[in-house]
Amino acid sequence: MVKSIAKGCLQFTGLFEAELLTELALRFWEHPLANDRAFRNDLLESASEILRASVAGQRMFEELEPQNVNFVAALWHAEYVGLSTETESSPKEVKARRKWLNSMMRAIPSCFCDPKMLE
């Protein structure tokens, strides 16, 4: 039986710890909307949807098989998609949100690569 990281992470999204990790990731890497509760909740819900799609076999990342999408990668992808469809943010906010995406990916690259590379 193949272990599904995405399935385990999807189960994690219903826990308080998922909310905490979401908030900490936003604050630590200085996301401009970290203080916006509605944004945090929407981001967590979007990450959950990404994990549901991954469990169903939909590919979200070129480098990751769907079953290997983890919670951090799902958060990142949720913000990436949200930012790419955003039309009301100021240029300054867009720049800060892109910086968050880049900072997160550089700081924890292991969340964005095939887990077999880490063995």
Per-residue pLDDT of the chain (119 residues; tens, 9 = 90+): 357 999 999 999 999 999 999 999 999 999 999 999 999 999 999 999 999 999 999 999 998 999 999 999 999 999 999 999 888 889 999 999 999 999 999 999 999 998 888 77
Residue at 82 is within a domain: yes
Residue at 15 is within a domain: yes
Residue at 119 is within a domain: no
Number of H helices, E strands in the chain: 5, 0
Residue at 118 is within a domain: no
Residue at 81 is within a domain: yes
Residue at 80 is within a domain: yes
How many domains does one find in the chain?
1
Residue whose pair of structure tokens reads 């930012």 in the numeric block? 83
Euclidean distance between CA atoms 46 and 99, whole angstroms: 20
Residue at 45 is within a domain: yes
Residue at 44 is within a domain: yes
- Residue 39 belongs to domain spanning: 5-113
